[in-house]
Structure formats: C-alpha cells, structure tokens
C-alpha cells in the first residue's frame, strides 16, 4: 500500500522534506518497507523561486487541499505559528488522518486538545521535531522512559542563543556582535526576539515537562527570561569561578509540584551540558533508576529537522498500514504546578560597592536577613570602589529577589550590577 503524504508549509524544513520524499523514495521503501508518495506541498506563493523542482500538481497555495483530498492519508504540518496551522491540524485529526508536526508553539499551546482529538479518532499526532531538531527526545520521554519517575530535565533547546553564548564565552564578543554574527550565518532571524527572549525555549520546555511528568504544562505556565542583559564581564568573572552561561530550560518535579522555567543560568564548567557548543542542542534527563541521560545533537536546520519529521512519518505510516486503532502514547493526569517564587534557586551576584570598613558586614547582614546564605565571596578592589562577587546557597526564589532589592537600597552599594541564577554542582 502507498501512503499519500501532504505537507503544509514549504519553507526550509518543508522544502527539504519534500525533496527527500521525491529523491529518496526507493531508499525509504528499501529500508522501511514503505511507499511514501508526496501528493501536495502547500506554499504561500506558487511563483516563488525554490531550490528544488517539483512535479506538476504537487505545489498548491490551497492548504485545505492537503487536509481534504482523500488521496492524502497523512498530513505533515510545517507552517509554524498558531493559525491557520492549528485549525488545519485539528481538522485533519478529526477526519481520521494522522498528523506529524514540528510546530513547538502549537504543541505547547494546544497540544492537550490535539492529542485528545487524535485519540478520539484513533490516529497519531507525532511531534518529535518540535524539540531539539534531529535529537530523539520526544519518543524516549513518552515511551521508553514512561515507567521512570523522572525528577528533572535540563535542556539547551535553542541553537541561536547557544551559538551567541558560545561566541561570547570563546571570543569575548559582546552580545550585540555575537547576535549580528548569528544573523549573518542564518542562525538568528532578522527579528530574533523569540529566540533571545526565551520564548522559543519556553514552548519546548512546556512540551518536555508535560511528557516527563504526565501533568499538562502550557507555554503560559513557563517562567521565562532571555539573554539580552548578559555582559561579557560577568562571563569572564563566572569563568574564573568555574561556571559558564547557558540559556537553560529547567523542568523539575519538586515533590510539591512541577516547576518549569527558562532563563540564563551559570552551569559548572564540568557539567555534561557545558560541552554543548555552537548551535547544538542537548537535553539532560535525571531519574532514580536511569540516573542521568544526555541526548545531544543538531537542534535546528532544514535537513536535521526534516530527518526527525521523516522518522515520524515512517512510524505513522506503519500504523496506517497495520490498520489498527492507534492507542494513546501519553496521558495527562492531575498535578500541581509550583510557583517559581517557591522554588529554591542559587545566584551569582556582582555588586559594585564603596571600599571602606564595615561594607561587607552590612551586605552580609542584608543577605542573611532575607533568609539567603552565602556559599562563597570574592572581593576585587580598585581605588575607592570594590567589586564583590557572591555565589549563594539554594534558597526560595522569592527570598533571593527580596535580598537583591534590599541590597540595591544600601547606601554602600553603588550598583547591583548583575544577578544570574546558578546551577549548583551535581
């Protein structure tokens, strides 16, 4: 039996996937035992120049053709964004067609609804490429590790910001220069806001958390900060202390609820995630029985992402050929989301202070008075000023914020110049 495939979206990933379906059809058949026939590739502009040639009738500017044509057995959504992608996916699922998508924004926002629609129709909704590009992480979390009580997931899940931070660490480049280079290389969009503000990573963090803990987490439930305010001087000081910065997605089962957040984090230089450089992605999973697992590889780009999408197409096509109703891969039960303010965090603080007797005592008293304790302190003096670097012990996020605000009110503190969360050594 031949499986008719229709693709919504002819951008970088959609074009690469369509080209592969046409040029590697026999190789796929030989290896997977499937005949995949590209029926449609829905694009915005039919006359736009494209890097690949397509047979007559494949290109269409009517996405509804992909969903409604009975010759299309399986729908691949690579349009991105919420609409019209969301309604098209829902329509396909309700009509009994399985869907493969790489749309992390859509899955994070409407994933529970779409998964339930797929279950009701007895078909699959697969989204391996929504997190980490070519890295296989969705299936391990939802199937291979379904019996493991995962305690924490740490992810470097945005290649743009990881590239920028690598440039800042390795070459001492300021943020603006590193961003410009990322844009020149095509890693960052002309408007990089979704990447550098943490929005893209937050969608992926929501998906990882939902699958890891079986409690639905929407993108709106993820606390997020970006990398825009990180300074080269703090990267240098952090390196002296044995840390380097990453935009880290952190999802944890605290025992009192699930916590999910994305922010710049200083991680120990000997942590497994510290070796993830450039535009690479990685997801680090911890559990009582598996201990620690690291999934790493290319997290973006047309060809790597198309590889993950194609893997889902093959899985879903095999299910179609089997002719059986597809059982649900994941179920979401009740669970509590823990407010970020309640979660314990550690911080790196850089204070610019007056260099005179009694200053350190005032600062230590202010920090301790807000229920935060100091793990280490370094003083760097210059003339009548001094720079103080602190690493704090884990304390509730709310207490740290109060301590930082109180430090800013001290007459002896000229500036709380930097406050960055720290991942404690494992």
Q: Which residues contact 249 (CB under 8 A, 6 or more apart)?
A: 153, 154, 155, 156, 157, 201, 202, 204, 205, 208, 260, 261, 262
* Closest listed residue to residue 219, CA positions, set 211, 231, 230, 210: 210
Active-site annotation holder among 204, 246, 286, 402: 204
* Closest listed residue to residue 328, CA positions, set 41, 158, 134, 126: 126
Contact 9, 80 (CB under 8 A): yes
Q: 284 has which bridge partners?
A: 154, 294
Residue linked to tokens 């007895």: 122
Q: Cα(191)–Cα(200) distance, rounded to whole angstroms?
A: 13
* Closest listed residue to residue 247, CA positions, set 320, 179, 326: 179
Contact 112, 332 (CB under 8 A): yes
Q: Cα(376)–Cα(100) distance, rounded to whole angstroms?
A: 49
Helices 159-171 and 175-184, interaxial angle, to 10°? 130
Per the structure block, which two tokens stand in for 291?
Answer: 């201990």
Q: Cα(92)–Cα(302) distance, rounded to whole angstroms?
A: 24
- The burial class, CB within 10 Å (0-12 / 13-18 / 19+), for 2 is middle
Give DSSP secondary structure letters for 213-276: HSS---GGGSEE--STT--HHHHHHHHHHTEEEEEEEEEEE-SSSEEEEEEEEEEETTSGGGG-
Is 402 marked active-site?
no
Residue 168 DSSP label = H
Residue positions annotated with a catalytic role? 204
């Amino acid at each position: 039996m031949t499986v008719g495939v229709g693709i919504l979206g002819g951008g970088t990933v959609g074009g690469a996937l369509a080209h592969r379906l046409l040029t590697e059809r026999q190789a796929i058949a030989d290896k997977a035992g499937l005949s995949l026939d590209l029926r449609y590739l829905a694009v915005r502009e039919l006359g736009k120049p494209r890097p690949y040639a397509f047979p007559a009738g494949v290109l269409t500017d009517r996405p509804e053709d992909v969903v409604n044509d009975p010759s299309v057995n399986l729908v691949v959504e690579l349009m991105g964004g919420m609409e019209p992608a969301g309604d098209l996916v829902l329509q396909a699922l309700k009509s009994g067609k399985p869907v493969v998508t790489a749309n992390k924004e859509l899955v994070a926002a409407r994933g529970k609804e779409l998964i339930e629609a797929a279950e009701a129709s007895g078909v699959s909704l697969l989204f391996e490429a929504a997190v980490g590009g070519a890295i296989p992480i969705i299936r391990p979390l939802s199937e291979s590790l379904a019996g493991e009580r995962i305690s924490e997931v740490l992810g470097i899940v945005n290649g743009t910001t990881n590239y920028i931070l690598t440039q800042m660490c390795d070459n001492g480049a300021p943020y603006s220069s590193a961003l410009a280079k990322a844009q020149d290389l095509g890693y960052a969009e002309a408007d990089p806001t979704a990447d550098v503000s943490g929005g893209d990573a937050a969608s992926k963090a929501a998906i990882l958390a939902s699958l890891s803990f079986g409690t639905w987490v929407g993108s709106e439930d993820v606390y997020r900060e970006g990398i825009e305010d990180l300074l080269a001087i703090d990267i240098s000081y952090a390196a002296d202390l044995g840390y380097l910065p990453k935009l880290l997605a952190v999802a944890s089962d605290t025992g009192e609820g699930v916590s999910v957040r994305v922010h710049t984090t200083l991680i120990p230089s000997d942590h497994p995630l510290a070796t993830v450089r450039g535009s690479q992605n990685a997801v680090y999973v911890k559990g009582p029985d598996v201990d620690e697992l690291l999934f790493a590889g290319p997290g973006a780009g047309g060809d790597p992402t198309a590889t993950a999408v194609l893997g889902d197409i093959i899985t879903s096509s095999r299910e179609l050929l089997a002719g059986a109703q597809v059982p649900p891969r994941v179920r979401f039960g009740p669970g509590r989301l823990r407010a970020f303010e309640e979660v314990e965090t550690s911080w790196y603080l850089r204070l610019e202070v007056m260099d005179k007797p009694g200053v350190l005592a005032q600062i230590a008293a202010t920090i301790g008075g807000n229920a935060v304790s100091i793990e280490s302190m370094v003083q760097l003096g210059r003339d009548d000023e001094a720079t103080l670097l602190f690493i704090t012990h884990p304390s509730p996020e709310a207490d740290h914020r109060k301590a930082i605000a109180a430090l800013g009110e001290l007459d002896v503190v000229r500036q709380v110049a930097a406050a960055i969360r720290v991942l404690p050594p494992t």
